[in-house]
Structure 1
Amino acid sequence: MDSVTHITLGACIGELVLGKKLGKQALMWGAIAQSLPDIDSAGALFLSPEQALLAHRGITHSLVFALVVGLALAFLVRRIHHKVYVPFVTLALFFCLQLMLHDLLDTCNAYGTGLLEPFSHQRFSVNLLYVADPLFTTGLLVAFVVLVFKNIRYQGRAKWAFVAIALSGLYLCLAVFSKLYISGRVQATLKKDGVQPGYLITPAPFTSMLWYIVAPVNNGYNTAYSSVFDGNANGIAYQFHAKNDSLLNGVQNKNVVNSLVTFSDKYYTITKAGNDININVLRFGQVQGWAVADAQFAFSYPLIAGKNQAMLLQKGRLSGWNGHALKIYVKRILGKSVIENKPNHKI
């Protein structure tokens, strides 16, 4: 999740657990604990772009890291606040659970989280929330502001924190039911469209009401966007993308290719434009693909040696957004058709 979500959630938990003992400093320690796993972003500065992709959400997002660092933080805070009695067990549980919650929350995104590092390199992702979802975070942010500015003697502090966390929890439950609904619609199309097992459903930007679908078919993938508000009669409009593995034969740096294929979790296509060969990681969606058929993928990485290999993930996700695009996006979330160029088939 984004940093604002982790900071505000950590602060609210800090208020509930340690607020009466440490006052507003509980907000600070909660925010620090929730943010600490993302320290791996600093280490990525010393790695190649493809190595940095695999390193992020790796060991610092593992349960081992949460346990070791959580105990270390408990010991540190106990020393710093030695004038206030807080049982070491309470501090240890607080920090370990904060760090673990960060990890578990990140599994809700499409990126993948290395919970079992260093014993296993498997990445976990349940694809329930977009990396930034206003409906999940707004309540936490409002409560955070109240807790920062309200006097420590204000009797409603814990209530603000509890309600904010409860609202985010309810929204997460809504995302689960929303995904199950879309999954049922996709399953109904499997035989008709030749979709193979192992399809992917992940949220579109900033919402859990519109979902991006990647469905394996022969020699490629079908992609589509489907809203919970789409009528059943509308079906699902799929767009086919050939995998084009043969284009990799001309790529010399096999280590880069292998790293990116691993990062893609095998959801990728290869495209060529002129002399440029790119690998597209399908898990991160298409740039406004809900409005433009066959839109370019948000994550595209050049494979030809000598090219600028700065990955385009974050920049690509928000490319072309303006007031008009936002209106179209809202319409699509509400179940209205906005495709400018019709896909090659519909079921």
Structure 2
Amino acid sequence: MDSLTQIVLGAAVGEAVLGRKVGNRAMLWGGICGTLPDLDVFANTVSDPMSALAYHRAFTHSLAFAVLIAPAVGLAIHRFYGGREGPIKSRWIWPALLLEFFVVLLVGSYLMPIEIYNIPQIVTVITLVFASIFLGVGGIRWLRGFPDKTPNTGWLGWTLLAFGAIVTHPLLDCFTAYGTQIFQPLAKSRVAWNTISVADPLYTIPFLVLLLWARSQVRGSVKRAWVNRAGLIVSSIYLALTVVNYFNVEDVLHRTLAADGIEAEATIIGPTILNNVLWSGTAKDANKDLYYFSQYSLFDEERRFEPWTEIEGHHDWIAPYANDRDLRIIRWFTKDYYNVIPTDTAAYLQVADLRYGLIAEDPNDPASYIFAWQVDTTVHPVRAWQRSAGPDEDVDMGDLFGRLWERAKGR
């Protein structure tokens, strides 16, 4: 999900684990650890677009990463506040911890079953950003004259905090339509339960308000613990309700397809952005290279997806290049829910992700898709990169959200 949500979740987990012992430090480092998996976005700075796409929400979002990195992070935080516990007693503890972080990330990245370019550069950049976090927090403490006299805790306690904050990040991402590669490097499949949007204010805002309220209470007080716990409970209840909505909407989709005589090989549903009321549904025809797209609101009077928009797949247009590395990544990322359409440039084709539906009515318009890539077929293997809207294709976001709002209110 979005970075703010992950920070709030990590901070709340940190407070639940160590708030009574270390006060506001628990929220601080919980929030930081909760964002560590997303350091993989820095792959964009040193690698090609398709490597960055495959690397995001991959090994850094895995259970293996959480298990292997949490002890190093916990020991680093413990030593940061003057602790002397832990398995490493050497004066070179900081270089040793950075080296461990680098090696774990490097080995895990090379074990990924998807071909990634420039792995050493990616791992180096992420390690440097990780080190800069400690430098930044240390610099702030130095400027403040090290005023915080809160007692430290053992490295095992910090390790538990780090693990809890890191592992809940990919677990939450599993509920989104984007999904996460939580079982890397053992499997390349992305776990995506499709129950919540990647940004949902009804999940985040109450959670944030309760976290800030807890932050204002006295360290170690019963009220602080209860308010923080309330944030975790309220957000979890909402997440559970999104699961209920998912199964309800999935049933509506299957009944609609049966009523309309559409034989589907596979289907996928997911909530539209910023809400859990309006859902998109895409069905892959069992007999033709054709997809059906529609939407359903929980406020619709009739329990059915309508109307259907037919989208031609045109998979044969890229069949000669389907096993080229960039297209393999796109096909893996989209789970084969994609279509191919021409662009204004004769040498390029556009491949669009159909899992998120359309943002305009014309399926033949390249600007109608949320996620799309341009593919250069003049080079072999082909090259692909995420499509950027041109000056004549700027999306009116106000109009887009206005149409989503009107549709969400139901028919």
TM-score normalised by length of structure 1: 0.86
Distance in 1, Cα, partners of 2:378 & 2:194? 34
Aligned residues: 330
Judged with a 3 Å threshold, the aligned counterparts in structure 2 of structure 1 residues 122 and 135 are, in CA distance, closer, same or farther, namely: same
The answer (yes or no) to whether the contact 2:270–2:281 under 8 Å persists in 1 is yes
- Asked if residue 298 in structure 1 is aligned to residue 373 in structure 2, the reply is no
**Partner amino acid for 1:263?**
F
The aligned residue for residue 175 of structure 1 is 242
Q: 1:319 aligns with which of 383, 389, 395?
A: 395
**Structure 1 CA distance, aligned partners of 2:268 and 2:6?**
26
Q: Partner of 1:254 in structure 2?
A: 324
Residue-by-residue CA offset, 1:58-95 (whole Å, 9 max, x unaligned): 11011110001111122222333438463544433332
Q: Distance in 2 between matches of 1:282 and 1:201?
A: 11
* 1:205 aligns to 2:280 (yes or no): no
**3-state SS of paired residue (1:189):** helix
- The 3-state SS of whatever aligns with 1:198 is strand
The question of whether the paired residues in 1 share the 8 Å contact of 2:10 and 2:166 is answered with no
**CA deviation profile, 1:291-345 (whole Å, cap 9, x unmatched):** x464711111111268996524899xx93211x5444322211213xxxxxxxxx
Corresponding residue SS for 2:386: coil
> In the alignment, what sits opposite 2:138?
none
Is the Cα contact below 8 Å between 2:256 and 2:304 reproduced in 1? no
Helix, strand or coil for the counterpart of 2:203?
helix
Equivalent-residue separation in structure 1 for 2:169 and 2:303 (angstroms): 40
Aligned-residue offset at 1:142: 1.3
Instruction: Report percent identity of matched pairs.
Output: 25
Give 1:151 shift.
5.1
Shift of 1:3: 0.4
Distance across 2 between alignment mates of 1:240 and 1:114: 31
The gaps in structure 2 that reach 5 residues or longer are 84-149
Bigger radius of gyration: 2
Higher relative contact order (CA 8 A, sep 6+): 2
Mapped pair 1:277 → 2:353: no
Once the two structures are superposed, the pairs formed by residues 182-193 of structure 1 within 5 Å of their partners are 182-191=249-258, 192-193=260-261
SS at match of 1:67: helix
Cα distance in 1 for partners of 2:322, 2:249 equals: 40
Equivalent AA in structure 2 for residue 181 of structure 1 = N
Separation (CA, whole Å) in 2 of partners of 1:243 and 1:73: 46
Conserved 8 A contact 2:176-2:195: yes
Contact 1:299 1:313 in 2 (8 A): no
Letter in 1 for 2:270: T
Give the whole-Å Cα distance in 2 for the aligned partners of 1:134 and 1:34: 18
Equivalent in the alignment of 1:237: 307
Q: Secondary structure at the match of 1:119?
A: coil
Aligned to 2:338: 268
Task: Give, in whole Å, the separation in 2 of the partners of 1:124 and 1:102.
Answer: 13
**Partner Cα distance (1:325, 1:115) in 2:** 33
CA distance in 1, matches of 2:251, 2:180: 26
Q: Secondary structure at the match of 1:27?
A: helix
Kindly tell me: are residues 216 and 36 of structure 1, through their superposed partners in 2, closer, same or farther at Cα, counting changes over 3 Å? same
For structure 1, which segment, 230-239 or 120-129, has the greater mean C-alpha deviation from structure 2 after superposition?
230-239
- Asked whether 1:105 is paired with 2:172, we answer yes
CA contact (8 A) 1:300 1:311 kept: yes
Distance in 1 of aligned mates of 2:388 and 2:298: 26
| Structure 2 equivalent of residue 341 of structure 1 | none
Q: Do residues 135 (structure 1) and 202 (structure 2) align? A: yes
For 2:248 and 2:35, the matched residues in 1 are separated by: 33
**Does the residue aligned with 1:183 lie in a helix, a strand or coil?**
helix
Give the corresponding residue for 1:19: 19
* Equivalent residue letter for 2:232: I
**Equivalent-residue separation in structure 1 for 2:167 and 2:329 (angstroms):** 27
